[in-house]
Structure 1
Amino acid sequence: MGSVTLVDSEVNKKVADGNNYFTFNAQLVDKYGHPLKKAGLNIEWSHNKEQQITLSAASTTTNDSGIASVTLKSSKIAVDDIIVYAKYRVPPLKPADKKVSFVGDIKTAKVGKSILNDADNNKIADGHPTS
């Protein structure tokens, strides 16, 4: 396995909205690092998280340039530091060049709940602090 790269390497965080995704490419190379331009070779994909994120396929095949692609799709749960791995035939797994994250959407932020941080919720309003 040569390299596993995030296709849009400028963006490594996207909103966890159930629709966003990242695309990864794996390039096969020989032991000298030369690209293997052969179609139809099976690349297996995995990632390091158990949360509800999914790869578009457990395996994909290379194109005529020896490149296989997979997409990692978000759920609506934020997940940080996801590493995508590719493998050709035998280990080791080759990690992608960048970790990615699906994050909360700041544009839709709201207060989830307010909590009284005092055991005494019945105080006298006389202008004097209580201890």
Structure 2
Amino acid sequence: MTKELPGKRGRKTKYYTHVEPRLEEIGHWCRDGLTEEEICRRLGVSLTSFAEYKKQFPELTDTLKVNREIADYRVENATYIVKDGQITQVAAPKSGYGEQRIIYKDGKPFDIIKVERTRITGHDVI
């Protein structure tokens, strides 16, 4: 059953059938860097309707805002280089600990030195 906005008549909104049940999925798409246009296409709603839903439903606005901030944080904290004409992300160490040093030659990245560290707890030390 679809719901109508109070005091509104006419065509029922797709928010309750197409958007609200997929808020978690929308969050994943935001973190993956999809644009609102791409999200609308996946949801089957127009960009104009989506803009209206953002005004009317704060939970949608909050979902978009929080997950965009996460995506922005990831990009800001990533290291990128241009390799063979393509922007390439330099992956972080698998353990989460370590450092990366970029060596430049003639003003261009030449090599990346990665040092990975492994954390050990007191009972692992002999």
Q: TM-score, normalised by structure 2?
A: 0.19
Structure 1 or 2: larger helix share?
A: 2
Considering fraction of residues, name the structure with more strand: 1
Q: With CA pairs under 8 Å and 6+ residues apart, which has the higher RCO, 1 or 2?
A: 1
